[in-house]
């Protein structure tokens, strides 16, 4: 059982130290630079795939919300106009293929004349900036133009399109193609089938917003209460004084990153070499779990395993039965911090756009996103369960162990001679920043991920054990994944 520990200097200065932390940090930073380079070199085709999935979720929400407002509030044309303007502001961007989907929204929310107008503008602007549009996209645009040209006179008619053209719209535009072929006033059963996922997206988003608002309010109260207790001296750190050989933990973390990269790349090449279409998620999870073998390094360097477990938080705390509840409390308290991270994300996005650092006119949007979005959008139940296992079990165990366990242990010892508050703040910020930047969501998402990571790190400092932060991490990933499941 761990004890209560005051925040103080980690180790006496006269204890001889082991490890080569400077060398470890060189390897660590090189590994992070390579990870960032890999994220930055995502192909435009891959980025467009993620953008199209996100656009489908946004489009479904706008169409579903417009339909529900018209049904229950009688908003009519004014309500659709409002959602159309929102679509213009957020979705009239990106590649030719993305903008064709926006044009379908224009036809749905504003009418066929607006859709044809947007098609003409798209063709002109694209030719001015990029020349001839891609052949397949140009053919899809011609089909849409024909569809909306006739629909302007006969709103309910689509029979004039051959079955081949209708099938091309479905295949190339996915749900947007189905929407284009099922306008308001068309066959009721077909349109109801098309709108069903839009309604599900709206109700899921509204339910999540209300639920998170309630939890966030409770989280703010909890966060303020903990801060008051800290300043009153009622909260004590649970992080035990660590081994003087903290440099070895820097080596361990660097080795973990190298193992993670090596095993992940090996899994990728094995899949390509064997031409295996399935199993990527399973191999990714195995690679992540395999990177935990880095924990053998401090033992090989002479630190007893029981000391390693104590140092990195792999132990039961003062009240083991309380840790799951504290993990839930950690997640709830993290929500106000997450909201603040979202504010910084929006400010960074606006600043980037004002400075001209946004994507090119017809390039993919390059908005923060995670490959898991693509998996969830096209997967069956089995792959969905794989995603949930990877995001909610493997990731929390591995990432909490290595970031909040190993790296935080090292940084707290390095800064142990500072004022306790500055030591905790420095260590938590560095760990949280590195945690955020290695994720594939991109630089703009760093404030959001850092907000969560800071909450997990402070819980580690308070309790000593990693159990609450692992549970909080797992809850966060499970909630995000399940919401994507429901909306997709």
Q: What is the pLDDT of residue 351?
A: 85
Inter-CA distances, 228 with 126, 212, 336, Å: 58, 24, 16
Of residues 316 and 168, more confidently modeled: 168
Is a pLDDT exceeding 60 seen at residue 12? no
Is a pLDDT exceeding 90 seen at residue 196? yes
> Which of 3-17, 167-181, 370-384 has the weakest average pLDDT?
3-17
Burial call 446-461: b when 16+ CB within 10 Å, e when fewer:
bbbbbbbbbbbbbbbb
pLDDT tens, position by position, 208-251: 999 999 999 999 999 999 989 888 888 878 887 766 788 999 99
Per-residue confidence at 155, pLDDT binned at 50, 70, 90?
A: low
pLDDT tens, position by position, 282-331: 788 888 999 999 999 999 998 999 999 999 999 876 677 788 899 999 99
210 burial class (0-12, 13-18, 19+ CB within 10 angstroms)?
Answer: exposed
Of residues 40 and 297, more confidently modeled: 297
Is a pLDDT exceeding 50 seen at residue 95? yes
Per-residue confidence at 156, pLDDT binned at 50, 70, 90?
A: low
* Cα(77)–Cα(315) distance, integer angstroms: 61
> Which ranges in 184-322 belong to alpha helices (H)?
188-231, 246-273, 280-290, 296-300, 305-312
pLDDT tens, position by position, 432-479: 999 999 988 878 889 999 999 999 999 999 998 999 999 999 999 999
> Which of 41-55, 200-214, 432-446 has the weakest average pLDDT?
41-55
Q: Which residues does 217 contact at the CB level (< 8 Å), separation at least 6?
A: none
Q: What is the mean pLDDT of residues 116-129?
A: 93
Inter-CA distances, 305 with 40, 300, 470, Å: 38, 10, 21
Q: What is the mean pLDDT of residues 89-95?
A: 88
Q: What is the pLDDT of residue 341?
A: 92
Q: What is the pLDDT of residue 14?
A: 42
Q: What is the largest CA-CA distance in the chain?
A: 89
Q: What is the pLDDT of residue 2?
A: 46
Residues of the chain with pLDDT > 70, as a percent, come to: 88
* Cα(208)–Cα(479) distance, integer angstroms: 9
Specify the pTM. 0.88
Is a pLDDT exceeding 70 seen at residue 365? no
Q: What is the mean pLDDT of residues 75-103?
A: 87
Q: What is the pLDDT of residue 361?
A: 76
* Cα(173)–Cα(175) distance, integer angstroms: 6
The mean of the pLDDT values for the chain is 86
Q: What does 135-165 look like in DSSP terms, one character per residue?
A: HHHHHHHHHHHHHHHHHTTSTT--TTS-HHH
DSSP-assigned letter for residue 407: I
Is a pLDDT exceeding 70 seen at residue 158? no
Phi, psi angles (nearest 5°) of residue 279: 105, 0
Q: What is the pLDDT of residue 259?
A: 94
Q: What is the mean pLDDT of residues 121-143?
A: 92
Q: What is the pLDDT of residue 171?
A: 93
Q: What is the mean pLDDT of residues 322-345?
A: 92
**254 touches 28 (CB < 8 A):** yes
Inter-CA distances, 57 with 96, 110, 168, 207, 302, Å: 18, 19, 21, 16, 52
Inter-CA distances, 200 with 60, 161, 184, 325, 415, Å: 9, 29, 19, 31, 50
Is a pLDDT exceeding 60 seen at residue 10? no
Output the six-digit token pair for 186: 């068309």
Per-residue confidence at 75, pLDDT binned at 50, 70, 90?
A: low
> Which of 327-336, 343-352, 373-382, 434-443 has the weakest average pLDDT?
373-382
Q: What is the pLDDT of residue 460?
A: 93
Output the six-digit token pair for 19: 């490890």
Q: What is the pLDDT of residue 338?
A: 93
Q: What is the pLDDT of residue 179?
A: 94
Q: What is the pLDDT of residue 396?
A: 96
**137 touches 169 (CB < 8 A):** no
Angle at 470 between CA 7 and CA 288, to 5 degrees: 120
Per-residue confidence at 9, pLDDT binned at 50, 70, 90?
A: very low
Inter-CA distances, 284 with 202, 385, 395, Å: 32, 14, 10
Question: Per mean pLDDT, which of 27-36, 231-240, 345-354 is the most reliable?
Answer: 27-36
Inter-CA distances, 98 with 41, 92, 104, 215, 357, Å: 21, 8, 10, 35, 20
* Cα(335)–Cα(451) distance, integer angstroms: 9
Q: What is the mean pLDDT of residues 369-393?
A: 76
Q: What does 299-360 look like in DSSP terms, one character per residue?
A: HHTT--HHHHHHHHT-S--SSGGGHHHHHHHHHHHHHHHHHHHHHHHHHHHHHHHHTT-S--
């Amino acid at each position: 059982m761990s004890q209560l520990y005051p925040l103080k200097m980690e180790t006496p200065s006269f204890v001889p130290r082991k490890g080569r932390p400077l060398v470890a940090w060189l390897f660590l930073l090189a590994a992070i630079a390579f990870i960032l380079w890999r994220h930055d070199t995502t192909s435009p085709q891959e980025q467009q795939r993620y953008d199209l999935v996100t656009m489908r979720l946004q489009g479904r929400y706008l169409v579903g919300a417009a339909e529900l407002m018209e049904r229950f509030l009688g908003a009519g044309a004014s309500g659709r106009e409002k959602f159309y303007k929102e679509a213009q502001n957020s979705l009239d961007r990106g590649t030719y293929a993305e903008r064709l989907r926006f044009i379908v929204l224009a036809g749905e929310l504003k009418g066929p004349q607006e859709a044809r107008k947007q098609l003409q503008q798209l063709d002109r602007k694209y030719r001015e900036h990029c020349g001839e549009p891609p052949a397949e996209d140009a053919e899809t645009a011609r089909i849409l133009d024909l569809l909306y040209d006739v629909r302007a006179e006969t709103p309910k008619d689509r029979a004039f399109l051959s079955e081949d053209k209708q099938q091309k719209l479905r295949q190339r535009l996915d749900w947007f193609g189905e929407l284009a072929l099922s306008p308001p006033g068309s066959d009721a059963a077909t349109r109801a089938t098309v709108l069903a996922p839009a309604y599900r997206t709206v109700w899921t988003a509204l339910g999540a917003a209300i639920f998170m608002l309630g939890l966030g309010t409770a989280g703010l109260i909890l966060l303020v209460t903990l801060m008051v207790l800290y300043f009153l001296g009622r909260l004590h750190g649970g992080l035990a004084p660590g081994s003087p050989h903290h440099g070895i933990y820097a080596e361990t973390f660097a080795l973990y990153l190298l193992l993670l990269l090596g095993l992940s790349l090996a899994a990728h090449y094995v899949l390509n070499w064997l031409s295996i279409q399935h199993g990527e998620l399973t191999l990714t999870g195995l690679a992540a779990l395999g990177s935990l073998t880095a924990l053998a390094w401090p033992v090989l360097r002479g630190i007893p395993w029981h000391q390693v477990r104590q140092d990195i938080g792999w132990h039961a705390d003062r009240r083991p039965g309380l840790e799951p509840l504290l993990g839930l409390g950690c997640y709830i308290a993290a929500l106000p911090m997450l909201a603040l991270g979202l504010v910084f994300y929006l400010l960074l996005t606006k600043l980037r756009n004002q400075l001209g650092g946004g994507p090119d006119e017809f390039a993919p949007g390059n908005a923060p996103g995670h490959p898991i979005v693509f998996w969830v959008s096209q997967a069956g139940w089995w792959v969905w369960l794989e995603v949930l296992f990877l995001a909610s079990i493997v990731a929390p165990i591995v990432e909490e162990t290595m970031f909040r366990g190993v790296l935080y242990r090292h940084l707290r010892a390095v800064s142990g001679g500072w004022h306790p508050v500055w030591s905790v703040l420095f260590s938590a910020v560095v760990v949280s920043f590195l945690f955020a930047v290695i994720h594939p969501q991109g630089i703009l998402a760093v404030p959001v991920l850092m907000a969560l990571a800071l909450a997990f790190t402070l819980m580690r400092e308070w309790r000593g054990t990693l159990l609450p932060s692992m549970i909080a991490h797992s809850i966060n990933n499970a909630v995000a994944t399940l919401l994507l499941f429901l909306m997709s």
